Amino acid sequence: MLVVMQQGATEEQIEHVIDRLVDLGFDVHRSTGVIHTVLGGVGGKYDFDLAVFQVMDGVKEAHRIVSPYKLASRAFRPGGTIVRVGSLAIGGDAVVVMAGPCSLENRDQIEQCAEVAARTGARVIRGGAFKPSSSPYEFQGLGAEGLQMLRAAADRHGLLVVSEVMDQTQIPLLAEYVDIVQVGARNMQNLNLLRELGKQSKPVLLKRGIAASIEELLLSAEYILAGGNYNVILCERGIRTFETQTRYTLDLSAIPVVKKLSHLPIIADPSHGTGRRDIVAPMARAALAAGADGLMIEVHPDPDRALSDGAQSMRPEQFEELMHQLQAVALAVGRASWPVPL
């Protein structure tokens, strides 16, 4: 903790700041410069409100040195975390691809996605049974029936399953069918949901909120970790900016930043991040090059007729071509990928 006092701050104001720092357990070191007095707080709590210091009389600026999250910080596990799901390791040497439709629609659609995913080296099939649609009039998902179809297709093709949970009452049902529970962007700060997911053992894929800072994403992960579930995978899926050419702005710089700040694996979702099928491939390649541990990509056998997110869903043959390209990118950045299909 570092507090810089204003020029001309009174002794009383300085003492007041010191008293508050001491109350919080800080060991305070005072440096008196020609213009400013600087107070350095060592040790102490990390869960204080920095703004309280920033507005104190006589304070010019105050900075937090220790991050507000603890379990999610890189310092907690400097070697990084590998999330193991069955025989799959996320956050290890190999990059992992999760692919499938936005929404689960019918058996045939899911089967075609599972087939192309398994054949091209993706290890996880995705698909929403509970859809967080922006409008209540849009498709809301098939619910439990969709999950059954997804599980059956995944088992036929030796794939793992990821699907979204929208609230805590759905956790038992999801847990029956999925290997990884997804928390969508709209729910990144549904703190009751995060707390409940911390108490159960399925790995959680936590997507970044559309207006969430990296720090807020890591604080949301902290809720799950604090409950005792350390199997959290982060996902950069684009944030809202002023740009209108893409649905969101895929914040690729978040990937190396998260790698520095946290030990948790992070994947990227260039489908939601761009909203456009024609630029999913370059952004997927770029995300791997930026250090992502994997990708989540929407695929649909007939995207023009998809019940949701058709514009950003790749056709199976496009996805297949991308999977070949991704192998080369993985190799170029020193990561393993998947066996080259014959």
Residues in the site for ligand PEP, rule: CB under 6 A? 102, 128, 132, 184-186, 207, 237, 272
Please say which residue, 58 or 303, places its beta carbon nearer to ligand PEP: 303
Report, in Å, the least distance between residue 175 CB and ligand PEP.
18
Please say which residue, 14 or 150, places its beta carbon nearer to ligand PEP: 150
Please say which residue, 120 or 312, places its beta carbon nearer to Mn ion: 312
Instruction: Give me 297's structure tokens.
Output: 């990509």
259 binds, among Mn ion, ligand PEP, none (CB under 5 to 8 A by kind): none
Amino acid (1-letter code) at residue 190 = N
Three-state SS at 341: coil
Instruction: Give me 257's structure tokens.
Output: 């930043």
Contact 291, 255 (CB under 8 A): yes
Report, in Å, the least distance between residue 156 CB and Mn ion.
23
Residues 255-314 that bind Mn ion (CB under 5 A): 309
Beta strands at 232-236 and 204-207: parallel, antiparallel or unpaired:
parallel
Report, in Å, the least distance between residue 309 CB and Mn ion.
4
Residues in the chain: 342
Instruction: Give me 145's structure tokens.
Output: 């029936």
Please say which residue, 21 or 180, places its beta carbon nearer to ligand PEP: 180
Q: Quick check: 102 binds Mn ion (CB under 5 A)?
A: yes
# binding residues, Mn ion (CB under 5 A):
2
Q: Is the dihedral of CA 240, 243, 245, 249 positive or negative?
A: negative
CA distance 125 to 130: 15
Contact 39, 54 (CB under 8 A): no
Q: Quick check: 160 binds Mn ion (CB under 5 A)?
A: no
Q: In what order do the strands lie in the sheet with 26-32?
A: 26-32, 37-43, 2-5, 59-63
- Please name which of 76, 75, 52, 80 lies closest in space to residue 64, comparing C-alpha atoms: 52
Report, in Å, the least distance between residue 140 CB and Mn ion.
13
Residue nearest to ligand PEP (CB): 184
CA distance 205 to 182: 5
For residue 152, give every residue at least 6 positions away whose Cβ sits within 8 Å of its Cβ, in sequence order, or none: none
Strand partners, 315: none
207 binds, among Mn ion, ligand PEP, none (CB under 5 to 8 A by kind): ligand PEP
Report, in Å, the least distance between residue 69 CB and Mn ion.
28
Binding mask 172-201 for Mn ion (x = CB under 5 A): ------------------------------
Report, in Å, the least distance between residue 94 CB and ligand PEP.
22
Report, in Å, the least distance between residue 114 CB and ligand PEP.
17
Please say which residue, 74 or 186, places its beta carbon nearer to ligand PEP: 186
Please say which residue, 236 or 309, places its beta carbon nearer to Mn ion: 309
Q: Quick check: 105 binds Mn ion (CB under 5 A)?
A: no
222 binds, among Mn ion, ligand PEP, none (CB under 5 to 8 A by kind): none
Please say which residue, 103 or 231, places its beta carbon nearer to Mn ion: 103
Report, in Å, the least distance between residue 313 CB and Mn ion.
8
Amino acid (1-letter code) at residue 265 = P
Contact 99, 319 (CB under 8 A): yes
184 binds, among ligand PEP, Mn ion, none (CB under 5 to 8 A by kind): ligand PEP
Beta strands at 266-268 and 232-236: parallel, antiparallel or unpaired:
parallel
CB atoms under 10 Å from CB of 100, counted, come to 32
Please say which residue, 87 or 134, places its beta carbon nearer to ligand PEP: 134
198 binds, among Mn ion, ligand PEP, none (CB under 5 to 8 A by kind): none
- Please name which of 204, 186, 188 lies closest in space to residue 132, comparing C-alpha atoms: 186
Question: By the criterion CB under 5 A, which residues form the site for Mn ion?
Answer: 102, 309
